Amino acid sequence: MRILNTAKTKFLLIFVIILCSYTLYTTAVIREFSHKEEIDYGQVLPRIWDSKAYDDGTMVIRIIRKNATTSINNYLCFYEVLSLRIINLDGTVVEKNLKLNIQSFNYCVFQMVSGGEWAITELTSGGLVLYGEVGVFVGIHTVNEGYAFIFSNSTLNATNPLSPRGQVSILPIGYNQNPSPSLLIYQTTTPNLNFTFLFCDIAFFEVGHVCILTISQTVPTGTSPSESFYIKINFLSSGSVLSFQSQANSLILPNVNPNPNLVWAVNSLTFGGYLLTNIVPTGPDQHFIYGFLIDGYNSVLIPWEFHNPVPLGIKGVYQILRNNTLLVSQLETEYYYWRFQVIDLPKFNGNKDKGYLNFNNFNVESTDPTINSTISPDIQNVKINFYGPVELSDGNLTIYQLIDNKPYLRQYITKSSCT
């Protein structure tokens, strides 16, 4: 909302379905994003260790530097500082170097023990136990302004042929509330399955949420090679399953990785479609990444703009932003710089844009009053037209006032006020 200094004060109300703004690209060009570190650590390379993208369009990466003094045997230890780099929408980088004053072993990594039974405890009451040989666990935020943990597990050693061999469950957690009991959203009794990868997010061009589960089916030695399957699960924040689709390896993905345990990972894209990636180690601290796209309507592989394969940093970090920008970390070779290769992935459902993609809500067809319009502060009704039927969530319609281009919260419209 902007205050206009006229004889009769008017207010420009901008109502936002979800507060996010992104730059939209029209061409896919390979480019580079690099940054020179402000602090001189001598001849120690800055390594891109992890990354995270946020709904406001920013990206945060963690930088580590090897501490040669404390790195011994199978332990790799870093300088004892949490080095975060905040990449803003305008390309500027803010450096944060935090001394956490915690034990030094928290800055070391080593080979974890595989297999066994793991449990997550202290969830208000009871525990969340993951049984089996393979388990995948992810956390997401939900459309009803809450959170959810989605976890999958599979086993190759079930003694009861009728017992589930693999399952996916959701643990919803409302904001400021205790966790609810976990809810089963998928299970199978098919034998010899490994659940190898799980990706979950908001289903931006659909309703609710979506999970993509990568499954590898092992076969006896000497028979046909293992097959990969992909399960797409659409569900609501409540845990109600809307649909699921399975697809065998009809994608005819190239066999780029000799290690059968390193499969193609599937990421759902904000503007529709999916990105499939496979990271292949080629030597000590050397990796390459292969990538293809599918539009979500058929199984035809679409090449990305990179030339397969693409060199990758030692930790294999790549990040997809909400605006469909893909950043691939590069192997660090200079003592002060780190770099990404960058492309813009295609927007398969971009034709649904009626001006509301900038607000990160892809199901809105129109509103009355329109976005960025000048309206009276005593307006009685706000009308929102969606592409398809929707169910009212526990979220709010939020109205902000813009003063000097800074948003100030003015009003919440709750679910009970909507019809």
Q: Does a structural domain hold residue 32?
A: no
Q: What is the pLDDT, as a whole number, of residue 392?
A: 66
pLDDT band at residue 19 using 50, 70 and 90 as cut-offs: very low
Q: Does a structural domain hold residue 3?
A: no
* Phi and psi, residue 121, nearest 5°: -110, 180
Under a CB-based contact definition with an 8 Å cutoff, are residues 120 and 128 in contact? yes
Q: How far apart are CA 354 and CA 357, in angstroms?
A: 7
Amino acid identity of residue 85, one-letter, is: R
Q: Does a structural domain hold residue 4?
A: no
Q: Does a structural domain hold residue 284?
A: yes
Q: Does a structural domain hold residue 136?
A: yes
pLDDT band at residue 116 using 50, 70 and 90 as cut-offs: very low
As beta bridge partners, residue 147 has 141, 173
Q: Does a structural domain hold residue 383?
A: no
- With tokens 């205790």, the residue in question is 178
Q: What is the pLDDT, as a whole number, of residue 50?
A: 94
| Statement: residue 129 has pLDDT above 60 | no
Please report how many Cα atoms fall inside a 13 Å half-sphere around the Cα of residue 336, on the Cβ side. 6
Amino acid identity of residue 250, one-letter, is: S
pLDDT band at residue 376 using 50, 70 and 90 as cut-offs: confident
Q: What is the pTM of this model?
A: 0.72
Helix (H) or strand (E) holding 197: strand 193-202
Q: Does a structural domain hold residue 376?
A: no
More confident residue, 377 or 209: 209
Give the count of domains, the chain: 1
Enter the tokens of residue 233. Answer: 């699960």
Q: Please report the DSSP string for 242-296 in residue order.
A: EEEEEE-GGG------S-TTS--EEEE-TTSSEEEEEEEEEETTEEEEEEEEE-S
Q: Does a structural domain hold residue 386?
A: no
Under a CB-based contact definition with an 8 Å cutoff, are residues 292 and 276 in contact? yes
Enter the tokens of residue 48. Answer: 């891109």
Q: Three-class SS of residue 251? A: helix
- pLDDT, mean of residues 18-29: 44
- With tokens 């780029």, the residue in question is 256
Q: How far apart are CA 49 and CA 55, in angstroms?
A: 21
- pLDDT, mean of residues 6-30: 41
Domain housing 160: 47-352
As beta bridge partners, residue 211 has 200, 233
Question: Residue ranges of the alpha helices (H) in 108-157?
Answer: none
Q: Which of 407, 406, 410, 378 is nearest to 397 (CA)?
A: 410
